[in-house]
Amino acid sequence: MTDFLSLSLADITAKLKARELSATEVATAALDAAEASQGALNAFTAFDRDKTLAMAKVSDDRLAKGEGGPIEGAPIAVKDLFAVEGVSTTACSHILDGFRPPYESTVTTKLWAAGGVFLGKTNMDEFAMGSSNETSYYGNVINPWRVKGSEAKLTPGGSSGGSATAVAADLCFGATGTDTGGSIRQPAAFTGTVGVKGTYGRASRWGAVAFASSLDHPGPFAKTVKDAAMLMQAMSGHDPKESTSLPLGVPDFVAAAAASVKGKKIGVPKEYRMDGMPEEIEALWQQGVEWLKAAGCEIVDVSLPHTKYALPTYYIINPAEASSNLARYDGMRYGLRVDGKDLTDTYEKTRAEGFGHEVQRRILMGTYVLSAGYYDAYYLKALKVRRRILEDFDKVFETCDALLTPSTPSGAFELGSKAGDPISMYLNDIFTVTANIAGVPALSVPAGLDGSGLPLGLQVITPALDEETMFSVGAALEDAAAFNHKPGKWW
């Protein structure tokens, strides 16, 4: 019996503590299910069965003594951006072929200290650049959800598509992701899972492959808001090794998820009502408003006037930082090396072969906006607009406690349907990028199904350092939506 794989993180840890199941039994079942799903879902890039079972044995020993952390014995999947000591870590890029870090990222170190058991590395867009998980060197991840009556392969969203799929398909009890412009919240919405990014600096970026350093936010995928709070609490905390890590204690996110939202003021930003937005997204948003009213919240209309500049601002800062961060990949110290006739030729051939087309596109865009003739016109101006976007949030949060918006402009789309149109692909981040630009916490919670039977999410955004309100509002939406849908198992 492996029905326990469908349990929430909170429920499986309770069963493990009660000794109704062993951590080894749970880890073995999760490994078997994850490996068996690979041919259909392609959610993982690497497993290390010996490591997983050794960690499960340690958890069993702790549990036998009545000890153990808050997530003791629960198999957790890790996005292939986080270093796990001795395990292939490639950011799903050919240029990092064979790289096995001799160190552990801070996020995974904290998860293992809380009792988590490493399950495997999850597939993702190359260097986290993508919104559909179609840029991975290891091939597309397939969403476990399908349109009713169709066998068409759908995107799980990106860049953290493998983590989202692993949680949605009940292959693990939580997973790590990173969110640079929506790369946790968009896949969460597309797969019917909960996705969270905290305040910038709440969870350390040390040991995670850098994409755009001022925008990258580590965070969890989970089956419920409470599970997400458990994981976020485990992942967070000050890290002296990371210069932007916040030197603050971690609030009790789990308690916050159970707190009442009565009396909270919820802002509805008018700028998120986009031309051509599907009626079912608008209807779900309005339903979310009604749910929060019923929970005792006051709804206020608010304005974030610089929202229309968010995507162009993001797509200047994002590639600029990427071009700088990815300059280190030259084939000299680790990963792929393609020998040339001299050093420069080796650099050029290695990077040409090692980086995929989307990564090359962003490096070229970033190099352009940072070049001497265009730095002031593009990059410097984008930083000024970023400040205005942050000021919009500061002003709005003087009058409300949280914002409610859709998570995405649609449900999951068919793989390949946007592959030749990068602008259309970038527009998938339209509701999520502002929170990254401002560095404020945000959560996506599954709230309904579209006309095709695919999940849709609602997004909660709160002021910096107020993840507690984010979790309480998210839990209130979860309770009201009573979303208990699962993809039909076909894999």
Torsion of CA 42, 318, 210, 358, to 10 degrees: 40
Q: Per the residue annotation, which of 79, 197, 223, 226 is the catalytic one? A: 79
Q: Return the biggest CA–CA distance within the chain.
A: 70
**Helices and strands counted in the chain (H then E):** 16, 11
Cα(326)–Cα(381) distance, integer angstroms: 23
Structure tokens at 47: 């497993």
**Would you state the structure tokens that stand for residue 227, as one six-digit string?**
């599970």
From 179, 276, 265, select the one nearest 220 (Cα to Cα).
Answer: 179
- For residue 15 the two structure tokens come to 């069963």
Instruction: Tell me the C-alpha distance between 244 and 293, whole Å.
Output: 37
SS3 percent helix, strand, coil of the chain, rounded to 5, is 45, 15, 45
If you search the block for the tokens 């998120």, which residue do you land on?
272
Question: What are the start-end ranges of the E strands in 396-454?
Answer: 402-406, 442-449
Query: How far apart, in whole angstroms, are the C-alpha atoms of residue 101 and residue 381?
Result: 38
DSSP for 138-164, written as a single string: T-----S---TT----B---SSSHHHH
Kindly provide the b/e burial profile for residues 398-425, where b requires at least 16 CB atoms within 10 angstroms of the residue's own CB: eebbbbbbbbbbbbbbebeebeeebeeb
183 in catalytic set: yes
The token pair at 354 is 């090692």
Catalytic residue among 37, 105, 183, 323: 183
Give the residue among 381, 386, 391, 471 at the shortest CA–CA distance from 433: 386
User: Which residue bears the tokens 């410097």?
Assistant: 380
Which residues 6+ apart lie within 8 Å of 216 measured at CB?
A: 128, 178, 179, 180, 205, 208, 210
DSSP state letter for 380:
I
Structure tokens at 11: 């429920």
Structure tokens at 89: 């870590």
Please name the helix (run of DSSP H) or strand (run of DSSP E) that holds residue 458, with its range, or none: strand 455-461
Helix axes 9-17, 23-41, angle to 10 degrees: 150
- Catalytic residue, chosen from 159, 160, 407, 444, is 159
Q: Nearest CA to 103 among 208, 245, 234, 207?
A: 207
Catalytic residues: 79, 159, 183
